Structure 1
Amino acid sequence: MSGQSNGVPRWVARLIDRLGTARAEDFSRLPTPAEGGRASAVLVLLGEQAGAPDVLMLQRAETLRNHAGQPAFPGGASDPEDVDAAATALREADEEVGLRPESVTVLTQLPRLWIPVSDFVVTPVLAWWHTPHEVHPREPAEVARVDRLPVAELVDPDNRLMLRHPSGWMGPAFQVRGMLVWGFTAGVLSVLLEMGGWARPWPRDRVADLPAPAPQPTPSAGDELG
């Protein structure tokens, strides 16, 4: 994973090249409405430790009414003062885990994706963490944990499965370092791992039921991979 290209590692540059032709259909079979929906953004923050890539992830507090205990990218709804999706994603990451915006290089925005159950239109913002620093939950009532999940562990076939919701929805999931990553977040991760050339074959017939109590299902970006 060594080497730099335009200030970012070559593995990041290769991913950016692949994303140059990405369409919303590559991430979700659900068409994004041309109008309407609540604008929001998430920060897909790539980093590197000892030459190995990772991604920043938080885990929601168990006491939340929605998405309790669910791992996610930092992010949330846009505020009127946010000039663009990147501003939303960086502001939310600062508020949630204390991420310093100056430590991040925004690389590109992924296609806007629609989550019909909440009517959010989400823009994933891909970024490079050029100056990593300590992060932590700033509001324990909302964020229980923050961690950097190594890509090598995310693509390990032993850590991958399909997750089934009682509603019948089913999509890809990851079990890494005590986190069960599923739904929208897992769908975006699945596609990025494929596009980055990291994905390894894994048993698609390994299916588990979403543990109770279950939040409302979030249609997964990339749920067609199942």
Structure 2
Amino acid sequence: MTGPLVDAGSVPAWLRPLVEISGEVDSRTFTRFSPPNGEYTRSASVLILFGEGPRGPDVLLLRRADTLGSHAGQVAFPGGGAEDGEDPVATALREAEEETGVDPAGVRPVAVLPELFVPVSRFAVTPVLAHWQTPSPVHAVDPGETAAVARVAVRDLADPANRFQVRRQGYVGPAFAVDGLFVWGFTAGLLSVLLSLGGWEREWNRGDVRDLEAALREHDWETR
């Protein structure tokens, strides 16, 4: 089931557009990839946790450890594979607590987005939108999994100076360089769509397309 989990009128005005539209979008809003027919995928969830900090609305991101077998060193939302009997919301909250130490008691899940297929890891990922009603301290709980945790202001993600696109083997997609983080791939794609749906997007230069490998080298101190 996708769509709002709460009355949109009960969330802050800046988050309301995302809650309202969550029941109207499908996977094609976010990705061009669909699971191959008959091929195995594993269920997973990510927590897209929006709070409000000194610089206005922000979102919780982490940088994955370099030693991980997949997506090593990449910036991501907290999340991971589902355990037996878990629904997407339970998975997202559990993984976020395990990876960042966030206290689930202060987190209010507000909407579930459509399941998205990630070809590289063969995960079928359900994004869960949440409002951080009572923020708690966060940190990299297990350095073997998480290298860093950060609350990134939405206004900085929307800043045209922090946005560009990257190209790799025919793939062209959005990227962000903000707060010492280089964000690309699945996470950047989701953030880019959410900025648009939430009414936060500002005009930016989509013609600024950079080679991904060169961008990774440029931000090496931030991603290794």
On whether the aligned pair clears a TM of 0.5, the verdict is yes
List gaps (5 residues or longer) in structure 1.
215-226
Equivalenced residues, count: 208
Contact 1:109 1:126 in 2 (8 A): yes
- 1:143 corresponds to which of 129, 146, 152: 146
1:126 aligned onto 2:132: no
Aligned-residue offset at 1:7: 4.0
C-alpha distance in structure 1 between counterparts of 2:78 and 2:148, whole Å: 11
**What TM-score, normalized by structure 2, do the two folds share?**
0.87
Residues 197 and 120 of structure 1: is their aligned pair in 2 closer, same or farther, counting only changes over 3 Å? same
Q: 44-53 vs 141-150, which deviates more? A: 44-53
1:194 to 189, 193, 196: 196
What residue in structure 1 maps to residue 176 of structure 2? Answer: 174
Where in structure 2 are there 5+ consecutive unaligned residues? 1-7, 217-224
User: How far is 1:213 from its partner?
Assistant: 11
Q: Does 1:92 align with 2:100?
A: no
Instruction: Classify the secondary structure of the residue corresponding to 2:15.
Output: helix
Partner in structure 2 of residue 44 of structure 1:
48
Distance 1:119 1:62 in 2: 20
Counterpart of 2:14 in 1: which secondary structure? helix
Per-residue displacement from partner, 1:161-195 (whole Å, max 9, x unpaired)? 10112x22121001011111111101111111000
Check conservation: 1:19, 1:195, Cα contact below 8 A. Answer: no
Deviation, structure 1 residue 119 = 1.4
CA contact 1:171–1:182 (8 Å) conserved in 2? yes
Deviation at 1:151, TM superposition (A): 0.4
In structure 2, distance between residues paired with 1:34 and 1:91: 30
1:103 offset after TM fit, Å?
0.8
Tell me which moved more, 84-93 or 50-59: 50-59
Q: 1:175 to 1:213 in 2, by over 3 A?
A: closer
Are positions 1:104 and 2:91 aligned together? no
1:17 is matched with 20
CA shift, 1:34, in A, is 7.3
Change (3 A) 1:51 1:168: closer
Stretch deviating more after TM superposition (58-67 or 197-206): 58-67
Question: Aligned partners of 2:215 and 2:131: how far apart in 1?
Answer: 35
Q: How high is the TM-score relative to the length of structure 1?
A: 0.86
Structure 2 counterpart SS, 1:22: coil
Identity level (%): 50
**Partner Cα separation in structure 2 for residue 29 and residue 213 of structure 1:** 23
